[in-house]
Amino acid sequence: MEKRVALELRGRNPSQVRELNLDNCRSTNIVGLTDEYVNLEILSLNNVGLTTLKAFPALPKLRKLELSDNRISNGLNFLSGCKKLTHLNLSGNKIKDLETLKPLKEFENLKNLDLFNNEVTAIEDYRSKVFALHPSLKYLDGFDKEDREVEDSDEEEEMNGNNDSDEEGSDEEDDDDDDEEISLRAVYNENLEEESSASSLYEGTDEEEEDDDDEDGENDADADHNDKAQDGEDNEAADGEPEESTRGKKRKHEDDDDN
């Protein structure tokens, strides 16, 4: 077991471990597991071959303990250092009487106890007596006092303990979502403003082009008018020359007649 514990650590400090699986590691007693695992919440020791729980460490945050398919017949008092225990699986062991279960009275948070395939289950009125012995108990061997089977949601709730930290984490996620939504909205509005500015710029350019066209049209019209006026003057001048020439010839002819 000691080698398996060291292997499962994977270079971590024992205080960093929250869940530890030592199933099938084969040992008759607890070895290598110490009080240093102060933050351990889930411990699994199924099918290890344990005959005693002596030297079981004090694990103040342990909530779920799996000890099925071992050879434990007594010594549940060695679990007294695990005050927050809510789930204890002792199925497939050697527990024979109710007296062996009395140390579990100290676990005020114990909600789920599994004693399936132990000799104690053959005792008359076994279920009612165990529930009476442990008032905090909600489920025994997977069923409540009314023989209703444990639901997954209930078990998860017991394991999670409705931690405030989870709720705080949820609030933080909501805040993150709100911040993300605000950020996206800001980006969207910024894009709209940019598009609006660009559109205004294009409109201004179009208006300037229209004004330029109007000015060009007016300039062209003035130029045409000036050209026409010049052409008129030229025509008048051209027309006047023959008239003057005719008058000159007539005058010359009259002078000749007088002579």
pLDDT of residue 165: 42
Amino acid (1-letter code) at residue 76: L
Q: Residue 174, class by beta-carbon neighbours within 10 Å (0-12 exposed, 13-18 middle, 19+ buried)?
A: exposed
Alpha-carbon span 19 to 16, nearest angstrom: 9
pLDDT of residue 151: 78
| CB-side neighbour CA atoms (13 Å) of 211 | 6
Alpha-carbon span 235 to 229, nearest angstrom: 10
Which whole number is the average pLDDT over 161-173?
A: 46
- For 21-56, write each residue's pLDDT tens digit: 999 999 999 999 999 999 999 999 999 999 999 999
Extents of the domains making up the chain: 2-161, 163-259
CB-based burial, 98-110: b 16+ in 10 Å, e otherwise = eebbeebeebeeb
CB-based burial, 141-159: b 16+ in 10 Å, e otherwise = beebeeeeebeeebbeebe
**pLDDT above 70 (res 213):** no
DSSP state of 167: H
Model-level pTM?
0.62
pLDDT of residue 167: 42
User: Higher-confidence residue: 122 or 194?
Assistant: 122
Amino acid (1-letter code) at residue 26: R
Unique residue bearing structure tokens 């020439």: 245
**pLDDT above 60 (res 230):** no
Q: How confident is the model at residue 246 (pLDDT cuts 50, 70, 90)?
A: very low
Question: In what helix (H) or strand (E) does residue 44 lie, and over which residues does it extend?
Answer: strand 42-44
Q: Which alpha helices (DSSP H) does the chain contain, by range?
A: 2-9, 126-133, 152-160, 164-258
Q: Which DSSP string corresponds to 186-224?
A: HHHHHHHHHHHHHHHHHHHHHHHHHHHHHHHHHHHHHHH
CATH fold, domain 2-161, is: 3.80.10
Show the tokens assigned to 247: 């008058």
Q: Residue 54, class by beta-carbon neighbours within 10 Å (0-12 exposed, 13-18 middle, 19+ buried)?
A: exposed
Alpha-carbon span 56 to 30, nearest angstrom: 6
